[in-house]
Structure 1
Amino acid sequence: MSERPVLLPYADQDFLADPFPLYGKLREDGPVRRVVVAGGLDAWLVTRYEDGLAALSDPRLSSDVRDASDPRLLAQLPETERESMLSNMLRSDPPDHTRLRRLVSKAFTARRVAQMRPRIQAITDGLLDGIVPAGRADLVADFALPLPVTVIGELLGVPVDDQHDFQRWTDRMIMRGAEPPDPAVVNEAWQHMRAYVTDLIRAKRTHPGDDLLSGLITARDEEARLSEDELIAMVFLLLAAGYITTVNLISGGIAMLLAHPDQLDLLRSDPELLGSAVEEFLRYDGPVSPGIARFAREDVEIAGVTVPRGATVLIASAIADRDPARFPDPDRLDITRPDNAHLAFGHGVHYCLGAPLARLEGLIAIGTALDRLPGLALAVPPDEIRWRPGGLRGPLSLPVTFRSGGQGVL
């Protein structure tokens, strides 16, 4: 492929607010396109649904960044303890991925997650109790962020007072913009996180509890089913992945409804549509954008294009999920959409482990917010909303107003 790489303009606020016109053009131009993505990295973008679905299950495409030929990828990770950070199931392939995933999979089954519903509802209600009297709020900082942070913190056994710290360190490690991240900032954040997780594990070894972290420590100490580095990397992954995309699902879903009042009215008139609405939010403008990175173990042909060994392959779920060959009228938000087999949670062995939990949190959070915040509206013009710069998609803040002291009807 001879075309010059297309720059995804992460410094452009118009692109961040609505990347889909450019995404659509890239898909129309071809099934595989060379692009420059967040942090100035080169990638081969897979833009169409069927090709993306196949690529997500292709064993020739690795999840391990050490299979990449571009040294800048490793350079963006913390210089100290780099191997430690890579020892998690997100960045591993079978058989290590299978072993690590099995250790935590029972905590995220649909049945186990359903048992968490009363607690998630209680956390949601508590957050809204603090919001309702004021008649205005930032639904990211005041609601969409603390809800999943609290849920994953309780599941793991992380003290509630520590949750703000790990959220801040995580943001510094994974936030990506047009320019490469500052290595000093990334290193400092990881050192804080590593020290925190190490202290937390030490405390749990002394005083174990009925939580996921205590179970992982048992698997490490008594059953030798993972190494100490893998244990630390697992805790970091669960803390970070356990909240950051769900924040964007909740805040982004509410933002979509406010931008599409016809769909908001439809949902209010028929609350039974909430489940299909959450799936449509994930398809239409999901929390990962443009998609999921893999690395070619060998030369790989995708849709007639040869991708060279070591190349970064970006399977663009956000673009594929608006592929007109798979989804009729794909650029329309339709909360009644049937057969909504989106790729927002991935596919294959790396299908998102936390998908049942994210869906439940989205259902409870969005449904309860609409019920308890009558007259919900943006407090600023839509073009003043700022969006995450790269890789993860969602509003950085969502200022809203509503009628205080009342009880809405979803």
Structure 2
Amino acid sequence: MSRTETADEDLLRTLAPQVLGALVRRYGNFDSAEDAVQEALLAAATQWPVDGVPDNPRGWLITVAARRLTDLLRSEQARRRREDTVAQWELPGQWMAPADQPVTASDDTLILLFMCCHPSLSPASQIALTLRAVGGLTTTEIARAFMVPEATMTRRISRAKQSIKSSGIPFGMPVDRAERLGAVLHVLYLIFNEGYASTSGPALFRTELSTEAIRLARMVHRLLPDDGEVAGLLALMLLTDARRPARTGPDGALIPMAEQDRLRWNAAFIAEGVALISVVLPRGKPGPYQLQAAIAAVHDEAPTAAETDWPQIKALYEVLLRMSGNPMVMLNHAVAVGMADGPQAGLALLTELASDERVSNDHRLFAVRAHLLEMAGEREAARTAYAEAARRATSLPQERYLNTRAAGLAGKNPPDG
């Protein structure tokens, strides 16, 4: 893919939720609007490389999508023979104007974000729908993030769309936004994670997703500047994304944190993240995002890997564990215990985790076990665990890294993969 094609793809990904928000605001039909937006994106992907990107790409997409949505709604009316259906949809003449016609500059992405976290939906459906509509993740990626079968996620998203359509609630910032905030923050957290550590594909990360998650988190923070968890999530994203420039070598190979060149870390992001978390932590009663941000800050402020304050990280994870039974938190706690108290202490915790079906087949469990076994000097057991982790990994860079670790313990070159 050329640099121009990549730039066009990034632009379309950024504009897609804005266009969807604009259509839902005007027409109210979420499901049909999403179909129309997808067709407009396809038209852009076909026409822009030939004709060039229009002066107002967002306006172009909104107009093309609105025309398609008009056709869809009229077809639905004709099929169902309901003459009064048209009156329910606004079909003003200006939407039939040329594609470069100016449109409002407002970005409806944040409104769309809160709308997807509709109270009639279960928390899992709220998150899934927002990841699809606002984050642009595929159903496969969302299913992996939730650790459920793809067919299950497809049904969940379809039901969520239908619920939004049936609710009849007008498009706009909800008055109960505080009640929806937990789901909104979790959505942004998952989008960021998929961008920072892709669950599949040839690249270790997808910068456009992590960048979009940070952008949306900044928007929510501006809306709710006094909310500690909003600030904590934004800080966590910044402190984590700061390491991205050093996570891969020139050949795209994964570099673990302990071996990264910390001079390549984004100092501006670290300073901003530390400042955010330093303001909210002293208020007391920190939430999970604030605690994770504090852990990230301890990592980022260590001059070298050897100087990392693992006892402090361990203590922060123990506070976090009292709030959450998330298996990934438990896994990271085991790492911290292994680093602070010795590998055998960490391995003992992994034995308990092995029976948790939410993580028992995850490659990360085997990778952590391999790392702790290697620290303990059990080279053959570590090699076996690295190889098993590589077999279960769905990301190609992670698979290659784990195979390299296994081969290094076996004293031979890693297999191609």
Q: Given the two structures, how large is their TM-score scaled by the length of structure 2?
A: 0.27
Structure ID, larger Rg: 2
* Structure possessing the higher relative contact order (Cα contacts under 8 Å, 6 or more residues apart): 1
Structure number with the higher helix fraction is: 2
Structure number with the higher strand fraction is: 1
Q: Given the two structures, how large is their TM-score scaled by the length of structure 1?
A: 0.28
